[in-house]
Structure 1
């Protein structure tokens, strides 16, 4: 019987691999609401995935193509030298090889979903050839699509930083002043004044491109009814809410990546020592094809027992992490989408198919939950091994082969105080002091986060001891106040204690900053001085250990702010909104926020000295759960549903976003049709 089941599974996989599933787009309806958000309805999950791919392609086909370029070896051909790095990483981390080797670990139901998604994006490409970035991208296969997701998760897990550190002959520190982050919060019904559970879903992502959140609703007769956000290439909702429960992701920084220096054979530089024996490095020559260069560029990629291996001036280094050892991350999200209660949700996540991300959860059945999720290696705790630094790559004592079991990860279920939250800070400050886990309960070698940040401290400062009302819950998220004590990696108190009479050239700026209420509102002059100071210090202190800035650094910073304002604006009497803008197309708006506020922004140069937001709140979702009704959902997305200039939904949510207002969404099918702006089948 077991043998026949195995043969049956093989046959199903073979059929799916050949795209035998033939989806008729007439069976799929895309309902666009008044904000252009797509609601996809069909009988099967695979048909819904087809419709989701089509709708997302209508709004941002370029980003969907960007995701699959490395699987085709075309990043360099489309994006130039910068893109070639993605092609190199795809080969280096063996994304296709691991996909081939692990293909039979994917379930038949999930493969049907992926097959439907791939059919949808291929169909769109065929119908819109003028939008295709390169003639060799399409059609894509399911395996190429999954292999691309392996690369994306490998980079997300921190392999990209390790790769660049080796390439640049440096080891990066973890004290970046401009570290980005996200917010998530779950409130138990016993903590709210209405007896509802509250959930905040608020990942901070880039404003545009393949890592920007796309809002959608998918509904099938096979159990999908989910509204939320996904990144380009997502075949289902990556975080959001279904009829019974919802969850939010935030990036976690538990140590998931290790770098090993190999001990090379002086007589043969293609051999490394391992447990006293010389072992041949695996070597492969790849060809990178780069836009503007007529001939392919040959590069070598290496592999050791530790994994992907690179050579620099210091020798050979290997990068090891769990993200490129599994291909089932998208599958886990699919089963999270379909969960009906906490038991099913926990079952979907406990197999650890998803290699990273905090998960904050709430449902209508009186459960809230938080876990610092990830593939955390079980490392040798011997004191001679410093797992925060480069490890010796010559012994099985450092070659970990397994991961912490899910039950061993920091997690909370219904803490007594009634809330859990994460702002990319420590799992050991996820609730109040009386109910927090203790760092001593977990192995030191795991590298768990142990810090507060400005956002986490502001949540603590604002969370009432009594019951929480919904208005206050939203107010906490939209807060623009820094905490009483700043939690940036570098202490800038020196800037606040200077006497303006001693330094007349920058006296007005010192006075402005000293009188600042530490709020990041667009009309704040103190916030303008602070943001420019922040950006200057983040540049000059990058890579240095956390410390207090010196008097000279404070003076230099004030002088930089003065010179910058005078050069570009001719005056120093400026507000944050004068300098910082939300830009969409040829329009711009004064904008609040800066890094590590609960309402954050991070910026890039724009024009005439002005800065534009390139990342921040992204998709914001507030959810209320009651026992006998569908969840109440409010959302806002920074720009709008479409990335295509000229589309009326290109920027129709900007004013709402700036004013921190929301739109009401629903999972109820008949209500979706009532507010429909357009109903159509893919291809119409």
Structure 2
């Protein structure tokens, strides 16, 4: 009787206020293809979500756990001081409270999906205790799971960077040299030589961890049949392709968040002025549990009318953004997964639960579409919203967001193509079809700049003739900077130095002058450039965009010379000698650097070498014809599994290095026919 009662109670709390969905793992098939990518087949969406969670847990359970650690207050316990910041942010942004408040806005169908997913995570943890990061982490509830997604979206929106600025007593920084970015493109069937619409899906994410893309295919009898990428903890596909349509995300940088300095009462340091009256700050004390520290650390979290509030040497500052005001982003993605046409897809976007991301779209009916999607506040004019604004007046307290029709968007431009590489939505297609920035409120802070990738894309794209599929793929894998580089810090002076005046750097100067701006692994000029890039990124951090001086150019060459001599004993190394793709105990020469169409960004490796920690990630090429299923090719920088013992840990590396792809399909019969293994999640 006690066991029965416990099970009933657990069933109730595991999904909050909803009844637990009955899952029969024997009715779920996980079909692994020859590259280890999981294809999940089941009758219901909830069962598919169960299978998806189980498959990803088999491949990277650690990353999945890291996503939900803050909801249990365990980031600090597992990851130490750095993790404690996540626990603090979870409390500060009231992720649990907003989830409770908005819980009833989630649909029963979506809650069933979430319940299936959460059941699988809990079951996997119970049957694989040695993989569990902390004994108090499981079981997790559906509400904890959704609350974790609220924090994740807040971080994606830049909340963590805002907190760090406040903590460091810094208001604003000049543009950083590092542009990591992502790529997406949609091409109309009328613009292609094959008569098919093309879609590129290529988010540039970290190579490993919770923000690395995981490739999967989910298929139910309730309308799911979609393949693509998800981040750790995703209960469905976050960007990819179904039988009818596909979409891609890139990060956007419009102004979605505001920072306020509160005017404090000199006689009461917990009161701030608002419209002429003193108002009490809401104060809560939390306990942070940090690994290797035997006692809990108490910290205060504050809340004002503007939102999450922190104190530093300059006073109290509040951060306000839409990401911690809504909880339905995952449900919106679920609806996007199930859309069968553009009308369905746009209806999903119109929910405006997803607080950010550019969205690129194509379908089999030859509709191409691009939306710079965001929860953009409706702000009053007269303030510099890109800087800290006064936190003492209702004039700066916005309470609504732009409607979807007010956001920059395109559908079927005459130019026949759309693209985004994290650059301006007003430079998204052919010149004649581009939107005008003047038609949008300047308070919204829409991006208005080109990047190296956007300029290079336009250099390569055949705007006056049709595009072949081969050329489409070549554009994506291009490793060339544009004729005029778009980095905020200009290095032209490095190309004008005389070899004869600086004989100690003569060979480097000569090589750099001859450099064709390629990021290929065998390029010696690219090795010089990457070291230049990393050096100037540190030296000029916090300074306004500008050209480097002659003195700085000489200092840069000295740094490159000394670095190469110290670590390699010579100065004629190629980029692949310096930069490596590392997986486990293997490494390979690697081309690419930040803001190429095929990019990499790095961290120190060994003996002066650098290793990639982010870049292309998961790449997808999709072709839509009027009839039949979409044709899909994909490649992952590493492989389907994060476990070193798996043969799929690094089996896609050789293909990636050759800019080759693997063929994927949504055809259930073909998946089973070519299966490497078929099993149930149990």
Fold match by TM threshold 0.5: yes
In the other structure, the counterpart of 1:183 is 183
SS in 1 for 2:86: helix
SS in 1 for 2:547: coil
In the other structure, the counterpart of 2:333 is 333
Taking the TM superposition and a 5 Å limit, the aligned residue runs for 1:641-660 are 641-660=640-659
Taking the TM superposition and a 5 Å limit, the aligned residue runs for 1:163-242 are 163-242=163-242
**Could you list the runs of 5+ residues in structure 1 that have no partner in the other structure?**
1-11
For the pair 1:680 / 2:676, whether they are aligned, the reply is no
**Is the 1:214–1:230 Cα contact (8 Å) retained in structure 2?**
yes
In the other structure, the counterpart of 1:159 is 159
SS in 2 for 1:636: strand
In the other structure, the counterpart of 1:296 is 296
- CA deviation after TM superposition for structure 1 residue 15, in Å: 7.6
Q: Distance in 1 between matches of 2:30 and 2:438?
A: 51
CA RMSD of aligned residues (A): 1.0
SS in 2 for 1:501: coil
Cα 1:640–1:210 change in 2 (3 A) is same
Q: Distance in 1 between matches of 2:13 and 2:224?
A: 22
> Across the two proteins, how many residue pairs are aligned to each other?
670
In the other structure, the counterpart of 1:430 is 428
**TM-score, normalised with respect to structure 2:** 0.97
In the other structure, the counterpart of 1:569 is 568
**Is the 1:17–1:142 Cα contact (8 Å) retained in structure 2?**
no
**TM-score, normalised with respect to structure 1:** 0.97
**Is the 2:289–2:295 Cα contact (8 Å) retained in structure 1?**
yes
In the other structure, the counterpart of 1:597 is 596
Cα 1:14–1:518 change in 2 (3 A) is closer
Q: Distance in 2 between matches of 1:159 and 1:543?
A: 19
Q: Distance in 1 between matches of 2:347 and 2:329?
A: 14
Cα 1:412–1:18 change in 2 (3 A) is closer
Q: Distance in 2 between matches of 1:459 and 1:495?
A: 26
In the other structure, the counterpart of 1:342 is 342
In the other structure, the counterpart of 1:6 is none
**Is the 2:153–2:355 Cα contact (8 Å) retained in structure 1?**
yes
Q: Distance in 1 between matches of 2:385 and 2:318?
A: 14
Q: Deviations over 1:570-591 (max 9, x none)?
A: 0001000000000000000000
**Is the 1:251–1:356 Cα contact (8 Å) retained in structure 2?**
yes
In the other structure, the counterpart of 1:5 is none
In the other structure, the counterpart of 1:8 is none
Q: Deviations over 1:56-86 (max 9, x none)?
A: 0000000000000000000000000000000
Q: Deviations over 1:495-534 (max 9, x none)?
A: 1111111111111111111000000000000000000000
SS in 2 for 1:318: strand
In the other structure, the counterpart of 1:525 is 524
In the other structure, the counterpart of 2:485 is 486
In the other structure, the counterpart of 2:670 is 671
**Is the 1:16–1:112 Cα contact (8 Å) retained in structure 2?**
no
SS in 2 for 1:365: coil
Taking the TM superposition and a 5 Å limit, the aligned residue runs for 1:239-638 are 239-382=239-382, 385-464=383-462, 465-638=464-637
SS in 1 for 2:308: strand
Q: Deviations over 1:582-633 (max 9, x none)?
A: 0000000000000000000000000000000000000000000001110000
- CA deviation after TM superposition for structure 1 residue 16, in Å: 6.5
In the other structure, the counterpart of 1:73 is 73
Q: Distance in 1 between matches of 2:108 and 2:172?
A: 42
Q: Deviations over 1:111-161 (max 9, x none)?
A: 000000000111100110010000000000000000000000001001111
Q: Deviations over 1:418-440 (max 9, x none)?
A: 00000000000000111000110
**Could you list the runs of 5+ residues in structure 2 that have no partner in the other structure?**
1-11
SS in 1 for 2:318: strand
SS in 1 for 2:567: helix
SS in 1 for 2:395: coil
SS in 2 for 1:178: coil
**Is the 2:515–2:526 Cα contact (8 Å) retained in structure 1?**
yes
SS in 2 for 1:500: coil
**Is the 2:225–2:666 Cα contact (8 Å) retained in structure 1?**
yes
